[in-house]
Amino acid sequence: MHKNKPPKHEHKFRQSFLNQWFLCPESARRKHLGLMPPETNNSNLVRGNAVHAAIEWFGMEWAETNRLPDGGELVEFGLNEFQLFGNEDGTVWHQEPEQVVDAVRGNLNLWYEEVLPQLDCPTDVEIHFDRVLWEDNDRIIRLSGTCDWVQDDWLVDWKNPSKAPRKNEMWIKQRSNLQSHVYSWALETPKFSLCHLSSPEVAWTHMVRGAADYAALIDLCLSVAIQIEANLPSALKQWDSWYCSPKWCGAWDTCRGKFLGDNPF
């Protein structure tokens, strides 16, 4: 008599989930299981979404009509998107709305003047992928994500940080940035760049990934999957990142905040 074999474990990881895992495994575990409160709209998301939406519109217009909109059209589109995203009920403003408007305008002007001249017409904009990374007798792992800008031999992702990244921090992104590994593997394009827009300056992080990097990515994702399959009641609680604070982590009040309170820093 043959015993029924247990079903395969099925995992679908977004690139953002993997990033979350390395910020704090316990917060990622809770999010994966639906135990985190929904993310609250905030001024950082408003800024990033408005800039992303405007560049997406620009890229689609260029790709579909071969027309390059001018800078004024780009900024106008972004400011309209700011109104849309900023008017959501419950939006938390970490900066004053006027500051966010100035950042949207400044980042889009920066993109138009300094980044656009380095780009070719995109083959795809905001392209979604969902691919099997690994499958064996025990589990299947899928990776999904959305790439901002795709050219024939180059992938670009737009970042809109509140402050420009420090130059002495770029080396760790070049060495270990997860997004570059996932997107390069999924879209079979080795060259990947992060474009950090933080008016008045733009900063680039250029990376090239290949077969050895993809093998390491499989190994990393297998390690995450195996830990999830163990169904432990908790995972490692990571304190040493910007994320571990009541401002950012939705689990704060049921985790470290049980002991430190609502405003410890």
3-state DSSP call for residue 126? strand
Sign of the CA dihedral running 81, 83, 89, 90: positive
Supply the pLDDT for residue 169: 80
Domain boundaries, the chain: 9-35+123-229, 43-118
Q: Does domain 9-35+123-229 fall into CATH 3.90.320.10? A: yes
CA–CA gap between residue 179 and residue 22 (Å, rounded): 12
Q: Where do we find the tokens 């070049």?
A: 174
Nearest-CA neighbor of 231 among 7, 50, 94, 33? 33
CA–CA gap between residue 149 and residue 116 (Å, rounded): 12
- Main-chain dihedrals φ then ψ at residue 237, nearest 5 degrees: -100, 115
Supply the pLDDT for residue 160: 92
Considering just the CA atoms, what is the radius of gyration of the chain in Å? 20
- pLDDT in single tens digits along all 265 residues of the chain: 456 666 789 999 999 999 999 999 999 999 888 888 888 899 999 999 999 999 999 999 999 999 999 999 999 999 999 999 999 999 999 899 999 999 999 999 999 999 999 999 999 999 999 999 999 999 999 999 999 999 999 999 999 988 878 877 889 889 999 999 999 999 999 999 999 998 888 999 999 999 999 999 999 999 999 999 999 999 999 999 899 999 889 899 999 999 999 999 9
Q: What is the pTM of this model?
A: 0.92
